[in-house]
Amino acid sequence: MLIYKTYKFRMYPDLDQVQKLNSFLGTKRFIYNYYLNEKEKNKNLTFNQMKQDLVFLKDKHHWLKEVDDYILLNALDDLENAYKRFYNKLSGKPKHKSYNSIQSYRTSCKKDKKGITNIKVDLENNVIKLPKLDEIKIKGYRKLKEFNLKIINATVLKEAGKYYVLVLVLENLKTEPLKMPKSIVGVDLGVKDIITTSNGLKIQKIKELKKLENKLKGLNKWLSRSKLGRKNHYKIILKIEKINQKIKNIRKTYNHLITTNLIKENDIIVIENLKINPMIIDAKDKIAKYLYNTSLNEIIHNLRYKATWYNKRIYQVSTYYPSSQLCSNCKNKNSKVKDLSVREWECPRCHFVHDRDINASLNILDEGLKLYLKDLQKFN
Ligand SMILES: [Zn+2]
């Protein structure tokens, strides 16, 4: 099976290379911002029109010719994608890239007629060759001896004065035949307890994260009351950005830990499909909604790709499956449980007393088992 994987290396460019890298980063920013302005003037400007216009722009600004062409084209591609996300209501309006934001440029891997590629990672000498640059020293992946992977592209990043390169490769993962699963677990994803499993495990959101999220809510209230153009207003925005970054980092580390454990300990993991979760739609608090949404999506994303790494399986049950309302003991449906505040309930038919989330995870497990049996029939 072929999978995409990213390798991140720290780069140690010399002075000459730093100058070049900075000028490439600046060029990418220039192109992005230039066509952002053009798009503002003419909404219907397409990728191909921008690409054609780029030829004229290069005649006007000769220094654009000193840059690898892929950097320019990928800048247009990034802009196009930013607008697509905006039109599909997945993110805010594309903004100008400033010198202060994280800077990056992406270049694509190509072979020339002699079969020499423009991007090359040499782990024996710890250097990377990027288009229009000499070999740059890199560090990372000490255990890896060779880099005989199909490179798709490389993204150069400048973060807090340090340079990194992210190399995207297409790796051929040796797929072992699916072994007989020894363990299967149902997972209920929630707000208070992030994860509840059918084994009775509950994982709560860590306190530090809760604190930061409350702080963020407070600051946002403050921001909505402060006046635009005042010095204070921008101070609050800066604070919000800092806390957002902190939340993101803590959440990422934490979610990695949770998902790695879940994957390592179980052969089949059953989760819900959360696209139209009523909890998200009902939430009145927009920020809480956003944080909840991103965190759960991250968990699902992590589980999915880690499952391919460890040769495990993920099943997702239908959004419409009433996992919380069914009694996991007798399968009687109790609509009164729809109310999210009901944390514990007794089944009116079999009188089993349920913890809301554990009951849901047991139902999710049942549905997962059905999906697994269906798969078995398909293969036999
Ligand atoms: Zn029952």
SS3 category, 4: strand
What's the domain count of the chain?
Answer: 2
Cβ atoms of 164 and 9 within 8 Å: the answer is: yes
What count of other Cβ atoms lies within 10 Å of the Cβ of residue 304?
Answer: 15
358 Cα–ligand 1 center, Å: 14
- Domain end (from 143, 172, 201): 172
Residue 177 forms part of a structural domain: no
Burial 70-106 (b: 16+ CB within 10 A, else e): bbbbbbbbbbbebbeeeeeeeeeebeebeeeeebbbb
Within this chain, do residues 191 and 250 fall inside the same structural domain, yes or no? yes
Instruction: Give the C-alpha distances (Å, rounded to integers) separating 150 from 15, 119, 133.
Output: 30, 10, 20
Within this chain, do residues 27 and 84 fall inside the same structural domain, yes or no? yes
- Domain end (from 138, 172, 206): 172
Q: What is the pLDDT of residue 278?
A: 44
Within this chain, do residues 199 and 323 fall inside the same structural domain, yes or no? yes
Near ion ligand 1, which residues have CB within 5 Å?
327, 329-330, 332, 347, 349-350
352 Cα–ligand 1 center, Å: 6
Residue 178 forms part of a structural domain: no
N-to-C CA span, the chain: 21
Residue 31 forms part of a structural domain: yes
Q: pTM of the predicted model, to two decimals?
A: 0.57
**CA atoms of 39 and 31, how far apart (whole Å):** 12
Closest by CA to 184, choosing from 203, 169, 170, 199, is: 199
**CA atoms of 197 and 361, how far apart (whole Å):** 6
Within this chain, do residues 264 and 152 fall inside the same structural domain, yes or no? no
Within this chain, do residues 154 and 252 fall inside the same structural domain, yes or no? no
Q: What is the pLDDT of residue 107?
A: 94
In the predicted model, residues of the chain with pLDDT beneath 50 are 276-281
Mean pLDDT of the chain: 87
SS3 category, 94: coil
- What does 200-220 look like in DSSP terms, one character per residue? S-EEEPPHHHHHHHHHHHHHH
Total length of the chain: 380
Within this chain, do residues 288 and 188 fall inside the same structural domain, yes or no? yes
What count of other Cβ atoms lies within 10 Å of the Cβ of residue 339?
Answer: 9
Residue 330 forms part of a structural domain: yes
Within this chain, do residues 37 and 168 fall inside the same structural domain, yes or no? yes
Residue 34 forms part of a structural domain: yes
Within this chain, do residues 198 and 286 fall inside the same structural domain, yes or no? yes
Within this chain, do residues 217 and 118 fall inside the same structural domain, yes or no? no
Q: What is the pLDDT of residue 1?
A: 66
- 65-80 pLDDT, tens digit per residue, is 999 999 999 999 999 9
- Domain end (from 172, 196, 224): 172
User: The domain containing residue 83 runs over which residues?
Assistant: 2-172
Within this chain, do residues 206 and 70 fall inside the same structural domain, yes or no? no
121 Cα–ligand 1 center, Å: 60
346 Cα–ligand 1 center, Å: 8
Q: What is the pLDDT of residue 102?
A: 76
Residue 14 forms part of a structural domain: yes
Q: Which two tokens stand for residue 214?
A: 């409350």
289 Cα–ligand 1 center, Å: 32
345 Cα–ligand 1 center, Å: 10
Within this chain, do residues 137 and 278 fall inside the same structural domain, yes or no? no
Residue 179 forms part of a structural domain: no
Phi-psi map region of 174: left, alpha, beta (phi>0 left; psi -120 to 50 alpha): beta
Domain CATH code at residue 218: 3.30.420
27 Cα–ligand 1 center, Å: 65
Q: How far is CA 312 from the centre of its chain?
A: 20
200 Cα–ligand 1 center, Å: 18
**CA atoms of 185 and 361, how far apart (whole Å):** 8
Residue 258 forms part of a structural domain: yes
What residues are annotated to the active site? Answer: 188, 272, 357
Within this chain, do residues 67 and 203 fall inside the same structural domain, yes or no? no
Give the bridge partners for 103, in sequence order: 158
Closest by CA to 303, choosing from 292, 286, 294, 316, is: 316
- 287-320 pLDDT, tens digit per residue, is 666 777 778 888 998 999 899 888 899 999 987 8
Q: Where are the alpha helices (DSSP H) in 42-116?
A: 47-60, 69-87
Q: What is the pLDDT of residue 379?
A: 64
283 Cα–ligand 1 center, Å: 29
Q: Which two tokens stand for residue 75?
A: 């800048």
